[in-house]
Chain A
Amino acid sequence: MSNKLISFIFALCLSLGILLVAIMMAEDVVNSAGVAHPDIAGMTVGGDGELRLEHIGQYAFLFQSLLMLLIICLCILGVSPRHRSPYFYAYMAGCYGLMLFIWWQMYFGHQQFMQTGQLSYFMGFPTPTAWQMYGTWFGAIPLMLIYTLGFRKFIYTHADDEAFQALLTEHKSPTSP
């Protein structure tokens, strides 16, 4: 199972690399990485948001979607294959779904604002930015929860601890090679 997982991770990394090359080769726009503020030195502005995403928006959306999948797969790689139960996989799939939902809300909320100019606020920030700031951070909290609450079930079980203690005893004994 680990071999399949690492192959999938490799495929994800390759896809991210290809997307990055595609973005680098896309037609550049003058404000793609911001331009100097007309009045205030040391400050930059983004300018026309639609123009900045015109040639790379879909690539960038896919890039982040794959990157979040890579994060989930790397977390799965860190769990011993013996502990990867169907429940565990379902939970991790749920984590990915949540992260994707937040990313979707952020990206398309931004798109909607650019098209309509209409905006609401949540806890001090425009809603798309609130999805970015609060949402992105909270989106990975389920990973912390399964690590913390499922520590003895998925990460380091009592059987793992016994196996490690036995290994330590064997390795540190005077007769050990």
Chain B
Amino acid sequence: MEAYRQEIILGAVFLYMAFCIVTGIWAMRRTKNSSDFFMAGRSLGPIVVSLALFSSTLSGFGFVGGPGLVYSIGVSSFWMVVISSSGYAIGFFLVAKRIRMIAELRDCISLPDIVAARYNSEAVRFLMAVTIVLGVMGYLATQILAMAVVMQAILSGTQMFAEISLVSCVVISSAVLIFYCVTGGIIASVYTDVVQGSIMIVAGGLILITATAVFDGGMQEATSIILANDSEAIMPFGSAGIMASLGWFFVFGLGLAGQPHLITKMMMNKDMADNRTIFPMSLFGYVMAALLWISIGVVMRAAAIDGVIDPLQAPDDAASVFLSLFANPLLAGVVFAGLFAAIMSTSDAFLNIGTAAIIHDIPKAINGKSVENELFWARVVTVLLAAVAASFALYSYYLDATLVALLGAFGWATFAASIFPVVAIGLNWKGATVPGAITAIISALVINFSVQLAGISIPYGISGGLVAFITSLILFIGVSAVTKKPNIGADIEQVLDI
């Protein structure tokens, strides 16, 4: 079997991609209008929503960057994982109920639709839509690049595709992504998420078992090796230090309820009462998949220190080197398919919300109405958005990484700082005002952009995202408290009372 390792991995990835294409064709028959395309007609069951929610949370970053972070900075990055229980709790307590009610009441198909209804303000809708488009471009470009790099690594290991270029890999992987997103919209996206999420859960569990077998003494031997080399790396705050760790706890925990691609999924369930099962199921899925992050990272750091393996060329190689050295070829096939699943499940969610912002929200904020024939334009813009993001990815890889890095800064932290106060608190506090919302969004964007552009380094590993998040929270509540309450609709008032 070892002799066919590359063919087995390639076969698993090919099967997975074929499944995505078939799902796209199947979902196309169920997509009859823009509400189906963006919201799946608000008809999804709890298992589908749970798997879609957690698989979108854990992107390629979790499968590639996560183990790399543990290799590089030790336990510090665990804080991004252990916060999941608090993060999902905040998301469900603050957002799940009211976002679902407003979506049904006002036939909302996007997050900017929700905030426009809540604040009765097109300005807030516009700012929210622009933030989403900027963030989506950065996220999508990095995800497409990651997908292409992994595909090139797999294909170049075979004789037939040994010389395949990165451009070809970008085209192939983007084509599959675009196909199922264009044909089936969010319906294809969430149903592929079901399989993607299932693969990620299985991969996480199997990798934990494999990782604990690398050292005779299991995980304890691995952590002892790290401890002997540098105790801080395996202590609760890792080598990045206490404030970097607590900052991630804050930004990743509270920030989960500010991620548009996640909370949009809270608008899609058929029955409100399903939330009580969606919450634990999503959390279980996330934790199982995150086992891969922690176990590979710890074992690879220990193996490099102990001389079991040569030091990695780059920390992000941790997962792929682990799979090639320690995993059974079949498991490697499942995990590589899981890696594509992780990347694609996040990418399709971003494509969907980015398209909604462009064809539905920005025109509505400017002209008072969205474009005619939304379904047609949704499909056209999905292709264009993916094509532009793929171009950004290639431009960044071959010419200049600054642009994507800058847009990448509009990642999790910017969404968290700009969207969390406006949505999560705004849906639960009648005193939230339009000036408060606008101030919070703008301050979050300005601080995150400034820190990134100016290359500001804050002492003790404090991130710009943490500063932006706390500032936007203070400004949102403070400005709202001293400005005039918006004249919101009677129906929205009633929803806020329930």
The answer on a CB contact under 8 Å between B498 and A160 is: yes
How many A-B pairs with Cβ below 8 Å?
Answer: 266
The answer on a CB contact under 8 Å between A110 and B236 is: yes
Which B residues form the contact surface with A (CB < 8 A)?
Answer: 71-76, 78-79, 81-86, 88-90, 92-95, 97, 101, 104-105, 212, 218-220, 222-223, 227, 229-244, 246, 249-250, 253-254, 272-273, 275-277, 279-280, 283, 287, 294, 301, 304-305, 311-315, 424-425, 428-431, 458-462, 466-467, 470-471, 473-474, 477-478, 481, 491, 494-495, 497-498
Does A46 lie at the interface of the complex (its beta carbon under 8 Å from any beta carbon of B)?
yes
The answer on a CB contact under 8 Å between B236 and A128 is: yes
* Residue numbers in A under 8 Å from B294 (CB-CB): 133
The answer on a CB contact under 8 Å between A41 and B471 is: no
CB distance from A2 to the nearest CB of B (A): 7
Proximity bits, A128-154, B CB within 8 Å = 1, else 0: 110111001111110110011101100
Does A100 lie at the interface of the complex (its beta carbon under 8 Å from any beta carbon of B)?
no
Selected contact of B74 from candidates A42, A46, A78, A168, CB within 8 Å: A46
Residues of A10-42 contacting chain B, CB below 8 A? 10, 13-14, 16-17, 20, 23-24, 26, 28, 31-34, 37, 40-42
Residue of A nearest to B85 (CB): A140
Some 15 contacts from A to B, beta carbons below 8 A apart, are A26-B460, A43-B71, A44-B72, A44-B233, A49-B231, A52-B242, A64-B246, A107-B236, A123-B219, A132-B236, A137-B81, A143-B85, A143-B93, A148-B277, A161-B272
Question: Would A33 and B233 be within 8 Å (CB), given that A10-B474, A53-B242 are in contact?
Answer: no
- How far, in angstroms, from A60 to B459 measured CA to CA in the complex? 13
Does A93 lie at the interface of the complex (its beta carbon under 8 Å from any beta carbon of B)?
no
The answer on a CB contact under 8 Å between B276 and A148 is: yes
Interface size class of A (residues with CB under 8 A): 35 or more
CB distance from B440 to the nearest CB of A (A): 12
CB distance from B442 to the nearest CB of A (A): 18
* Residue numbers in A under 8 Å from B240 (CB-CB): 33-34, 44, 46
The answer on a CB contact under 8 Å between B304 and A40 is: yes
- How far, in angstroms, from A133 to B287 measured CA to CA in the complex? 11
The answer on a CB contact under 8 Å between B219 and A44 is: no
The answer on a CB contact under 8 Å between B461 and A113 is: no
The answer on a CB contact under 8 Å between A71 and B90 is: yes
Residue of A nearest to B283 (CB): A144
Interface of B is mostly: helix
* Residue numbers in B under 8 Å from A85 (CB-CB): none
* Residue numbers in A under 8 Å from B276 (CB-CB): 147-149, 151, 155
CB distance from B432 to the nearest CB of A (A): 9
* Residue numbers in A under 8 Å from B104 (CB-CB): 168
The answer on a CB contact under 8 Å between A52 and B466 is: no
- How far, in angstroms, from A52 to B460 measured CA to CA in the complex? 9
Residue in A34, A53, A56, A137 with the greatest tally of chain B CB atoms within 10 Å? A34
- How far, in angstroms, from A20 to B462 measured CA to CA in the complex? 9
The answer on a CB contact under 8 Å between B220 and A124 is: yes
Does A45 lie at the interface of the complex (its beta carbon under 8 Å from any beta carbon of B)?
yes
Does A89 lie at the interface of the complex (its beta carbon under 8 Å from any beta carbon of B)?
no
Interface of A is mostly: helix
* Residue numbers in B under 8 Å from A137 (CB-CB): 81-82, 84-85, 287
* Residue numbers in B under 8 Å from A106 (CB-CB): 236
The answer on a CB contact under 8 Å between A67 and B105 is: no
Question: Would A126 and B223 be within 8 Å (CB), given that A14-B474, A43-B72, A79-B93 are in contact?
Answer: yes
New A-B contacts (19) at CB < 8 Å, excluding given A78-B97, A124-B212, A137-B287: A16-B470, A24-B460, A33-B241, A33-B461, A44-B239, A45-B232, A67-B250, A74-B94, A74-B425, A77-B93, A78-B95, A121-B223, A126-B223, A133-B294, A136-B79, A138-B85, A144-B279, A149-B276, A164-B272
* Residue numbers in A under 8 Å from B218 (CB-CB): 124
The answer on a CB contact under 8 Å between B105 and A171 is: yes
The answer on a CB contact under 8 Å between A42 and B239 is: no
The answer on a CB contact under 8 Å between B234 and A41 is: no
Residue of A nearest to B219 (CB): A124
* Residue numbers in A under 8 Å from B220 (CB-CB): 121, 124-125
Question: Would A49 and B232 be within 8 Å (CB), given that A63-B246, A124-B220 are in contact?
Answer: yes
Residues of A61-76 contacting chain B, CB below 8 A? 63-64, 67, 70-71, 74-75
- How far, in angstroms, from A174 to B71 measured CA to CA in the complex? 62
- How far, in angstroms, from A129 to B474 measured CA to CA in the complex? 32
The answer on a CB contact under 8 Å between B481 and A10 is: yes
The answer on a CB contact under 8 Å between A80 and B73 is: no
The answer on a CB contact under 8 Å between A167 and B105 is: yes
* Residue numbers in B under 8 Å from A16 (CB-CB): 470
The answer on a CB contact under 8 Å between B460 and A32 is: yes
Proximity bits, A91-112, B CB within 8 Å = 1, else 0: 0000000000000001101100
- How far, in angstroms, from A121 to B280 measured CA to CA in the complex? 29
The answer on a CB contact under 8 Å between A71 and B253 is: yes
The answer on a CB contact under 8 Å between B74 and A23 is: no
- How far, in angstroms, from A42 to B309 measured CA to CA in the complex? 14
The answer on a CB contact under 8 Å between A110 and B93 is: no
The answer on a CB contact under 8 Å between B287 and A34 is: no
Selected contact of A49 from candidates B76, B94, B101, B235, CB within 8 Å: B235
* Residue numbers in B under 8 Å from A171 (CB-CB): 105, 491
Question: Would A60 and B243 be within 8 Å (CB), given that A125-B219, A156-B272 are in contact?
Answer: yes
- How far, in angstroms, from A161 to B430 measured CA to CA in the complex? 20
The answer on a CB contact under 8 Å between B230 and A45 is: yes
Residue of B nearest to A67 (CB): B250
Residue in B75, B88, B277, B430 with the greatest tally of chain A CB atoms within 10 Å? B75
* Residue numbers in A under 8 Å from B223 (CB-CB): 121, 124-126, 129
- How far, in angstroms, from A50 to B81 measured CA to CA in the complex? 25
* Residue numbers in A under 8 Å from B474 (CB-CB): 10, 13-14, 17
The answer on a CB contact under 8 Å between B88 and A144 is: yes
